[in-house]
Every structure is written in structure tokens, then in C-alpha cells.
A and B are shown apart, each in its own frame.
Chain A
């Protein structure tokens, strides 16, 4: 247990008759960057607020550094928190914003000055210390908000969608900064977001949540390539995974997924169990796991016709009708195909995912 920083056990939370979290379990390792990912209303922010102590749990326990903090006040949990709306105190200067918590805790002035100076240096906000929050840009404000967590000298950082209020350019800049901060501080960080790019780029592990339940907890590449169920598969990836509803059939000793009369051979697919014939399934293939006009041995080759072309610079996205479905294929930006062009699709079945049509779990 020594390696565990934050541990959530059988956590439940309900508001009246509405259950938001139901016996949720989660262990976060020391120094780990964990991202809670999900669409709005999935309970990810609620979980974070429970860990912070801003919401009273209905049942279960929360441990931080092996200490049961289920009923502790937020300030006694050893956490720092960064909010989406920055939540800087508008009437105080940046310096006083940073030092507010320390002054409340009645730390000696010399210690306060030292910690504020250090945080300001790490985040490069020294020139802003005398300014009011209203005189700062969005990116500067969020930096100050991170600084406020930094001066608390805590083990665990909690981020509640910290970049959602920033424009796209600033968001990617600060994303890199947060990653750098994590690399240099090596603190435990729990980060809530609905943005899958942030999740994939920042996380050591991602917990994908839906209606209060963790759907999958794994490192980003596993989540991306081997989604545990249909929801995770559809939630991660842009454009999203191509789904084909079909049925497993045995054709002359060869296992295939038949979709509207088109057969996808399953020889290369790393199935967990047996693919018994007659089972209704959903076959998922990511747009970049389909090659166009490149014959690689062992791949499933089908004929298709281009419907729409979307050049995106680095990539080129082709939309086509195949096996009665609309699907997308991602190819290099330099390769262009006019609508109506006939081409050959090669499906990399080793990277495909097959889900049971009823349970929606990976087979």
C-alpha cells in the first residue's frame, strides 16, 4: 500500500434519490498523473470534489497517503485544487491570492514569502505579483490558480477542467506546461476533463467514466487501441471509430464477421474467447487502421468508392460507403482522392475491436 497516494474505496454519493457515484473504487499511485475523462454529468467532477472534501460522501472511504480523510476538512487533506473558472479572489493582488491560504494557516511571513517566490518562479509570474486578477489574461490567471495550489506544498494536485475556459492555442501551451510541471514536481495529479486530447497527452492512466461508473482504467495507448467496451471505443478518437454491426459466421472453417453481406476475416484478431458462430457483434475499426491502395499481407482487402474527401493538412480524411455503413479512413495529407474514385481498403484486423452487440463488452 505504500505506493498508493490516493485510494477511493466503495465510494457512493447520492443527492436525494439521484445516485451520482455508486461503490466506486480507484487507487492512484504516488506521482501518477491520472485523468478522469467523460462527458458532462458522468460524475467525474463529483468524484474530484469528493476527494477534495468539498462534497460529503454518502458511503465509502477516501484515503490520502494512507490516512483516512473521509471526514476531514479540505485543508487537512494535503491537496491543492485548480478550478475551471480560475476562482481567483478578485479583490486581492496575485501575491495575496497566492498567499491567502498560508496567511489563513498563520505561517510565518518569511516562509510565506519564500513559498510565493518559489511558485512565482516556477510558473514565471513574478512580474504579475502586484496585479489584480482583472488585469491578467486568461492564461495568466490559470497560471496564478496553479500557483495557489503550488504554494500549499501538497502531495496531491486536483485539476477540475483547468483549460476549458481558454482558447485553443493557449490550451495547448498550458497543457505542455502542466505536463512539464508534473515531470519536475513528481506530485500525484488528478485531472478532470472532457477533452480526450488532454487526456491522451497528459495521462499516465486514464479513467473513462460514464454515469458514475469507471468504464476502463488503463494507460492512454491501451484505452485508445484496446477499448474495453463500446462506450470507450466511441468516446475516444476523432473522427470516432468506424462501427459495423454484424454477425459471426463460420465459412468453410474461416471465422468471419458478416456485415450486410460483406465478410471481414477474423484470423488476425486477438480474440479473448471463442468467436462462436451466430453471435451478434459490433466490429470497430479506427480510421487510421485502414490502408488505402497498399497491399500488406495478412490484411482484409475490400473494394470501395470515395464519397467525400476532407483534406486537413497533415491528414486527409476519406468518407466512403462500405458494407452499408458510412466509414472514414485517415491517410497522409499528400495523398488525394477525388469523390467517385474506386480504391482498395486494407483492414488491419489485429488492431480492430469486436464487441458483443448485447453486452457491448470487448470479445
Chain B
């Protein structure tokens, strides 16, 4: 170790002796150059623009009502209280029920998890079949699926209500899960099909020569190479389904309302005083899940892409 250090040192000395006087090495850059001021100025401004509302929400949710009535929405809380958070979670009233957001939270969990898993499972197999097993009518099937993505949801709501009613699933969680699964299909299938198409076709051919069939190739060859796209699909689905309001309110009964619907009911309830602090706390709680999913798996997502970049 020491030897190499001295060797390096000698080399550096020798190099220094060879160099003519004057500028050498890395070019120094001033910290407050016009270019830096422009770049960082713009970035800080944009960040502040988006973070300010969040700041107001957090600050307000930590204040008591008397303090809020003073009107200084930007001032930090004089007395920090977690009362509004507790109330928003467990005792805020939506109509007759007074058990806060907690019920909506668990409903949303029971909706989001199965919808995400089922839709990703089906869509990935769809995409795999469309990309690698070009069956007869594959193009037509794919076109129909994609056209479905362009029809506005609102057009389909009433027909779906009838279909669910006929199936005896209207108002149940199962019905809502089926609806979410179906509506996730076009975009997820497109996503998976494009990803599987981008994988080298020769891998698929090699597996077929090796005697692997439809499912063996899917589970043993395709799945292990597709972590990044599964994470992307999961982020899309969790965020989309968690944030959904329309389907939740249309296709379920009040005891199954997802968190978003319950949040709306808390914020818009007209009885009594507007409890801004409780409303803010409830909104942050509802938005927390997609944010956490994004922060946790976003890192995984980047790692997945980096691992895939080293081509095998």
C-alpha cells in the first residue's frame, strides 16, 4: 500500500516538474456565477411554489382552532397539538358515523391490494402473450383493448352499474375490485407488451428450443427479468386506485366507501364549525399512502432499472 502511494507521489512530482507555469488541472468555477444563480434560483422558486401549500397544510393541521381564527396561515403553530390528527383518524363525523377516516383507510386497503395484484397479474400475462406468442387475431385484440383506453370513464358508468347489478355484485367490494381490474387492463397491457417486446426475442426462442412452454417461459425467464416494469405498474395502480373517487362513490355502499370518499364527506360536512385543522390532517393522511409507496418503491424502481442495464 505504502509503496503505491509513494510511487503515485513521485509520479505527481515528476508531472509537476514537466508542466509549464500557468493554469493547470481542473478549471475553477465561481459559486455565484450568473449561470448558477439562474439555475438554482429557478429550481428553488419551483420547489417553493409546490411546497408552500403543503407547508400550510402541515402547519394548519398542528394548530388549535382559536389560533387558526387569527388568520395567519403562514405562521408556525404557537402551540403544537396533535388533537386534529387523532380526530381526523378516529372520531371525525361523516353524516351519522363518527369514527373518522380509519374505516375508509381499511376499505381502501381492501380495495387497492387485490385490485393491484389481480390487474397486474392478468395484464402481465396479456402483454407476454401479445408480445411473444403472436396468436391469430392478436392485433385485433390489442387494438380493441387500446381503444378501450380512450373511451371516457363516465360513458361506461351506468352500463357497469347494470352489469354489476345483474351479477349481484353491485355495492360490494368485489364489484369495485373487478371494475378497477378491468379499467387498469388497457394501459397495463400496453405497458407490459411494450416491455416484453423490448426483451431480446432470441431469449424466448432459446427457451422454446430448450423445451419450455408458455408458463415455464413466463415464470422462469420473463418474470425474473421484469422487476422494473412490475414496480412501475404497481406504482401506477396503487396511486390510481387509492386516489379514485368516482368509482368508489358510485359502485359501493357507504359502509364500504374508500378513504377518498370519506375524506370528501368529512371536509364537506355542513354541520357545525369548519374544522380546518381536522380537514388538513385528514387530507394529509389520505395522500400519505401513495406518497409512501412512491418514496419506498421509487428507490427500488431506480435500482431495478440499473440492474437491468447490465445486459446479460
Contact = CB atoms under 8 A, between A and B. Distances in A.
B312 A89 contact: yes
A87 B202 contact: yes
Given A75-B208, A101-B209, A104-B211, A84 B202 contact: yes
A80 interface: yes
A74 B312 contact: no
B145 to A, nearest CB: 22
Residue in B200, B209, B312 with the greatest tally of chain A CB atoms within 10 Å: B209
Chain B, interface SS category: helix
B42 interface: no
Contact of B202 (A73, A79, A85): A85
Contacts of B221: 89
A87 B203 contact: yes
A210 B292 CA distance: 59
Interface residues of B, number: 19
B9 to A, nearest CB: 35
Contacts of B225: 90-91
B212 A104 contact: yes
B209 A52 contact: yes
B312 A75 contact: no
Nearest to B204: A87
Interface in B267-312: 310-312
A224 interface: no
A90 B312 CA distance: 4
A100 B210 CA distance: 7
A81 interface: yes
B213 to A, nearest CB: 8
Contacts of A132: 312
Nearest to A49: B205
A133 B212 CA distance: 20
Contact of B208 (A54, A85, A105, A145): A54
A101 B209 CA distance: 8
A88 interface: yes
A83 interface: yes
A148 B208 CA distance: 13
A89 B203 contact: yes
Given A132-B312, A133-B312, A74 B200 contact: no
A74 B216 contact: no
B206 interface: yes
B224 interface: yes
A105 B212 CA distance: 8
A49 B212 CA distance: 17
B209 to A, nearest CB: 5
Given A104-B216, A132-B312, A83 B202 contact: yes
B196 to A, nearest CB: 15
Contacts of A104: 210-212, 216
Interface of B: 200, 202-203, 205-212, 216, 220-221, 224-225, 310-312
Given A100-B220, A148-B206, 14 more contacts: A49-B205, A52-B205, A75-B211, A79-B209, A85-B202, A88-B206, A88-B312, A89-B203, A90-B225, A91-B312, A104-B216, A133-B312, A134-B311, A134-B312
17 contacts: A49-B205, A54-B209, A73-B208, A74-B209, A75-B211, A81-B205, A81-B206, A83-B205, A85-B202, A87-B206, A89-B203, A89-B206, A89-B207, A90-B312, A101-B212, A104-B210, A148-B210
List the 5 shortest-distance A-B pairs measured between CB atoms, nearest first. A90-B312, A101-B210, A75-B211, A87-B202, A87-B206
